[in-house]
Amino acid sequence: MAFSRAASTKGARSGNLERQIIAWGEERMHEVQQERGVRVKVRADARDDKAGFIALHRK
């Protein structure tokens, strides 16, 4: 998934930007794993007052 300006504008309008960013990060880490032959793990933290962000990561 290439992260383009058009995609980011559309995603921001639909409220889907965070999901696109996480998907891009996951894809990029998979690429790094393949390129370098190392294990990678996508990790993120959220404050407990960010319930929507936490719910996004649990999907």
What is the domain partition of the chain in residue ranges? 5-58
What would the mean pLDDT of 30-52 be, rounded to a whole number?
81
Residue 56 banded pLDDT, cuts 50, 70, 90: confident
Higher-pLDDT residue of 56 and 5 is 56
Nearest residue to 59 (alpha-carbon basis) of 11, 27, 22, 15: 22
The more confidently predicted of residues 53 and 46 is 53
* pTM exceeding 0.75: no
Assess contact for 3 and 20: CB atoms under 8 A: yes
- Average pLDDT of the segment spanning 10-32: 81
Alpha-carbon span 40 to 1, nearest angstrom: 18
Span 26-38, pLDDT tens digits: 899 999 999 999 9
